[in-house]
Chains A and B, each alone.
Chain A
Amino acid sequence: DSGVTQTPKHLITATGQRVTLRCSPRSGDLSVYWYQQSLDQGLQFLIQYYNGEERAKGNILERFSAQQFPDLHSELNLSSLELGDSALYFCASSPLRGRTGELFFGEGSRLTVL
């Protein structure tokens, strides 16, 4: 158990809809990362937050947005969903003290868009 909690584990929705994925990082970890894992794209970095502020952005679509709240949990919002958005969405956290180190991943939220 990595200590990172993601909900929901599974989500099935229709095209055009909007969903919110939630992540609770490990206790004390200030940094949260979101990754998308699909069969043909591997693990793609979406966005990173550090102590409530956006720190880095990757291949995140404009239809997607995220935020990190004062209690450090994070939410990834996916809107106007398309079939191609079906994927596993992982959240990871890191204490981020000093040099780059280990990222701790949750078990993911599997999104299916029909």
Chain B
Amino acid sequence: QQQVKQSPQSLIVQKGGISIINCAYENTAFDYFPWYQQFPGKGPALLIAIRPDVSEKKEGRFTISFNKSAKQFSLHIMDSQPGDSATYFCAASQDSWGKLQFGAGTQVVVTP
């Protein structure tokens, strides 16, 4: 059973557009919410992460919005570029040992 539910499964956006990926969780003990980016043939790599004491975190063109009461968080990719085409995974962890529960992934395609 998926502890972190991610949508959409895939996304096509034009260059310069905004990509939005949403995730929801049930376990209120989760205290760390990272997003990982995976290119074909590579392992996932950390993109950006947030903890529940803040509602938003921005790093360059990537922003996480976090809604603790709704148990939801989302990734916004502003000014999407073809190089952003990848699979994005949200994840959550509930303890200091770092075991991550991943969402199912969203394949993002940015068209020129």
Contacts and interface: CB of A to CB of B under 8 A. Distances in A.
B20 to A, nearest CB: 19
Given A42-B105, A43-B89, A45-B100, A100 B46 contact: no
Contacts, number: 66
B45 interface: yes
A98 B102 contact: no
A10 B104 CA distance: 23
Interface of B: 2, 31-32, 34, 36, 41-46, 49, 89, 93, 95-105
Given A42-B105, A43-B105, A100 B45 contact: no
Given A58-B99, A102-B49, 4 more contacts: A42-B104, A103-B46, A107-B41, A107-B42
B103 A48 contact: no
Contacts of A94: 98
Contacts of A99: 32, 96
From B32, B44, B93, B102, name the one whose CB has the most chain A CB atoms within 10 angstroms: B44
Contact of B97 (A35, A50, A58, A105): A50
Interface string A78-109: 00000000000010101010111111011110
B98 A33 contact: yes
